[in-house]
Structure 1
Amino acid sequence: MRPHRIMVLGDSLASGMQDDYTWRWRLAEHLRGTGVDAEFVGPHSGTFSMYEDPVLRALVEGRALPTGPEAANPMTGPYREGRFEGGHCARPGSTAHDAKDSVRAHVATGQPEFLLVQLGFNDLAMVGPPDVVLRDLEAVVAEARAAAPELVVLVADVAGTATWGTEWFRQTIDEFNERLPGAVAEWSTRESPVALVDVHSRFDAAADTYDEIHPNAAGELVMATAFADALLAFGIGREPLRPPRVRPSELRLTEPTVTAASGRAGSVRLEWNRVRGASGYRIALRDVTLGQPREVGPIPVLGDHWWARGLTGGHVYEFDVTAARGERLGPRSEPLRVTAGV
């Protein structure tokens, strides 16, 4: 008897970022640990790595942004522990609006029995209101069925956010979540059941995220538990996933080691080692020549290097770099002084 084949179709909440466990990893470990023979399928095997992302690298380096296939992240980022056995079909920024055009091919290739869908947040933020998102999710289900007529589809509601975005946006999430159960029931058939995965009611966006959106280590377990319960209702699993009583710890952010070199006129190139668990880096600088105070850049740098431009050639500048995980900061690097290129 072949393993149960499971495909995860989702956005950044499902793909995870480098050094995350991800809820996919937690779910796979739970099934494996309870003796369930399951195979996760899909075109990707790793997490999203900000360091390897072609678009982010171009932004950091001030180059023209790549387009088409060259803009795609290779999805080769590491996990917090071990590796993910199998594949998945999740990418940051993914929407149901886009997935409806690609899911048939993915399902035809992977031939899953179960399709686990975690989409909707980006749709509500960038594509349209609940009516539009529900139509696109219905199309995702229909397209997936076209490749696997007896597919079981498990659709998660939107976990939500405590403070991110406007009050109107948060109310839109609530409206979508209120309407999703009825829509899921309408999409379900005897041959191809569709069921709701209730993430929202058990997810605390303040406690279970590191940036008001993406799950931290505890939030990943909440999401994995919700999907495990949904699978158990279809006979996949031998017992519920029971998160430990003690919340899993976050990775301790360490102090980066920074090097610098003068570049062209008025510029300095900074480089630093990759800190495990970081989702970005805060760069601070001051003009020592003019005796100016230290200023922290307003936007985190998503990468392991950065060009400081617009400096005064010949002036001495002092830089430091801090690893960040959302708003959580690690220790600053040792201040580094360098003379801007002339």
Structure 2
Amino acid sequence: MSTRTRSPLTAVLALVLTVLVGSPAAGAAPPVLHAEPTRVMALGDSITGSPGCWRALLWRDLQESGHQDVDFVGTRAPQGCGFPYDGEHEGHGGALVTEVARQNALPGWLAATGPDVVLMHFGTNDVWSSRSTEEILGAYDVLLGQMRTANPEIRLVVAQILPMDAPNCPECAQRVVDLNASVPAWAADRSTADSPVLVADHWTGFDTDLHTYDGVHPNADGDRRMADTWYAALTPLL
């Protein structure tokens, strides 16, 4: 049997690889690669941000169920909800989604925070301000386009928004019904394999008498329901 000797160049290359890679010890476990946390932005108006304690409940639920690789992001700081939580968010009290789209506000928020997933409950103030369903969905289109420009693989969960029972806006209740009826088809038409658009149903079973303190904004029971709904929609994306 002949013996093949290594050339000097081969020996040098082997030495370099040993230095760079290292020689695994016998029986040693392979190195563990830790994935980056999923960055989640909650986007909307005061229902999301003032103080939006459904976000605190959602974060705690995720932590307690083993989803600890989640980073809530946004340019706005958390508010007190009774316990520590990862509370950065993009909830802007009084904001209209149609105005956020018109003012081109979202790209700056996206650039500052780099979300992988957006949870969007937006349109309540537009309904209050008599913006039509078509105008609101048009604003959703603008925002979704901006999200995909920032991250072509962004995942959007869009809400069928909370019902409204506002004495100063008797027409609002039906406007919410009309908007929510259009959301599933809007989402299905725009969802792609690379950038899915899913729907979170915050409408069904939500009672403004039981779950809000003013016919619009959630109370503690409403926050609990919202957190549960978002949890069910978000966890398959993690």
Q: TM-score, normalised by structure 1?
A: 0.56
Structure whose residues are more often helix by fraction? 2
Looking at structure 2, the residues matched to 82 and 212 of structure 1 have their Cα atoms a distance apart, in angstroms, of: 26
Deviation at 1:232, TM superposition (A): 2.5
**Contact persistence 1:161–1:206 (CA under 8 A):** no
Query: Which residue pairs with 1:170 in the alignment?
Result: 173
Query: Which residue pairs with 1:89 in the alignment?
Result: 90
Decide which structure has the larger Cα Rg and report it: 2
Query: Which residue pairs with 2:100 in the alignment?
Result: 99
1:132 lines up with 2:100 in the alignment? no
Change (3 A) 1:95 1:84: farther
Deviation at 1:158, TM superposition (A): 1.5
**Contact persistence 2:162–2:203 (CA under 8 A):** yes
Unaligned runs of 5+ in 1: 48-78, 237-342
Which of 134, 147, 151 in structure 2 is aligned with 1:148? 151
Looking at structure 2, the residues matched to 96 and 148 of structure 1 have their Cα atoms a distance apart, in angstroms, of: 20
1:200 aligned counterpart, secondary structure = coil
Looking at structure 1, the residues matched to 208 and 87 of structure 2 have their Cα atoms a distance apart, in angstroms, of: 29
Query: Which residue pairs with 1:28 in the alignment?
Result: 59
Deviation at 1:210, TM superposition (A): 0.7
Structure whose residues are more often strand by fraction? 1
Query: Which residue pairs with 1:3 in the alignment?
Result: 37
Q: TM-score, normalised by structure 2?
A: 0.80
Looking at structure 1, the residues matched to 166 and 125 of structure 2 have their Cα atoms a distance apart, in angstroms, of: 16
Query: Which residue pairs with 2:162 in the alignment?
Result: 159
Deviation at 1:82, TM superposition (A): 2.5
Change (3 A) 1:127 1:162: closer
Deviation at 1:83, TM superposition (A): 3.4
Looking at structure 2, the residues matched to 164 and 114 of structure 1 have their Cα atoms a distance apart, in angstroms, of: 35
Looking at structure 2, the residues matched to 23 and 231 of structure 1 have their Cα atoms a distance apart, in angstroms, of: 13
Query: Which residue pairs with 1:219 in the alignment?
Result: 222
Q: How many residues align?
A: 201
Unaligned runs of 5+ in 2: 1-34
Change (3 A) 1:137 1:92: same
**Contact persistence 2:156–2:196 (CA under 8 A):** yes
Deviation at 1:127, TM superposition (A): 5.5
Deviation at 1:202, TM superposition (A): 2.6
Q: Which amino acid aligns with 1:97?
A: T
Q: Looking at both structures, which has the greater relative contact order when contacts are Cα pairs under 8 Å and sequence separation is at least 6? A: 2
Alignment deviations for residues 102-123 of structure 1 (CA, whole Å, 9 cap, x no partner): 2122122211110110101101
Q: Which amino acid aligns with 2:58?
A: L
RMSD of aligned residue pairs (Cα, Å): 1.5
**Within 5 Å, which residues of 2 pair with 1:297-336?**
none
Q: Which amino acid aligns with 1:38?
A: V
Looking at structure 2, the residues matched to 199 and 109 of structure 1 have their Cα atoms a distance apart, in angstroms, of: 28
Looking at structure 1, the residues matched to 84 and 126 of structure 2 have their Cα atoms a distance apart, in angstroms, of: 30
Looking at structure 1, the residues matched to 61 and 167 of structure 2 have their Cα atoms a distance apart, in angstroms, of: 31
Change (3 A) 1:35 1:159: same
2:187 aligned counterpart, secondary structure = helix
Identity of aligned residues (%): 28
